Amino acid sequence: MVQKEVKPRGRPKSYDREEALMAAMMTFWKAGYAGTSLDDLSAAMAMNRPSIYAAFGDKRALYLEVIDFYRRRVRASFDRLFDKGLPLCETLQAATAKAIETYVEDQKGCFVVGTAITEAAVDDDVRAVTAEMFREIEQVFAQRFREAAARGQNLIAPPEVLGALMSDVVHGCSLKARAGQNREEIEASARRSIDMICGRGTV
């Protein structure tokens, strides 16, 4: 008797995890967590359901990993901008402009602001990772202010306070983009806020 070859189920393990997470992120970003089905994710990620479960767990586990994937991408983007050695206010303007560029595309805003805030109200894990991302962004900006102060720049408030303000500016831009406000208006509002934070003007 010839033994029938048993083929493994699901997608081969040679899939690119980063590409799969990117596809999942864009899918969640478009429709939100509740509005995204496993069939949507399967089509976008080019993975069948058993493969998704094997690689990432259920939909919730995948979503939590996608939030962390997004967090790491945002941090890397900020780090690249901050490594250019620009003056403080130019650095803040560049970081905000980069964020706005992403937010206004398809009026999608920030991934976490657009998809995780609603889920955070009912899911402790989503709430925790969302809060941690906000704290991290505040600290990233606060560190820029500490460095500027160490170089002798006068600050209008402690670095931690200014870091929180900059985080609020960036996330405010996200909400405006999600609501459909045009890019020019969002950028103008951000510039005024940064000028005030840098002590270069008043609102």
| Tens digits of residue pLDDT in 3-16 | 444 444 544 455 79
pTM assigned to the model: 0.83
At the topology level, CATH places domain 17-197 in Tetracycline Repressor; domain 2 (1.10.357)
Contact call for residues 21 and 111 (beta carbons, < 8 A): no
Helix segments in 57-123, DSSP class H: 59-82, 88-104, 111-120
How high is the mean pLDDT of the chain? 89
What pLDDT was estimated at residue 104? 92
| Contacts for 13 with CB less than 8 Å, ≥ 6 apart | none
What pLDDT was estimated at residue 3? 44
The least confident of 76-80, 125-129, 141-145 is: 76-80
CA distance 10 to 54: 9
Contact call for residues 177 and 186 (beta carbons, < 8 A): yes
CB count within 10 Å of CB 21 equals 21
Range 73-89 average pLDDT: 86
What pLDDT was estimated at residue 14? 55
Residue 107 has pLDDT above 80, yes or no: no
Residue 101 has pLDDT above 70, yes or no: yes
Say which amino acid occupies 193: S
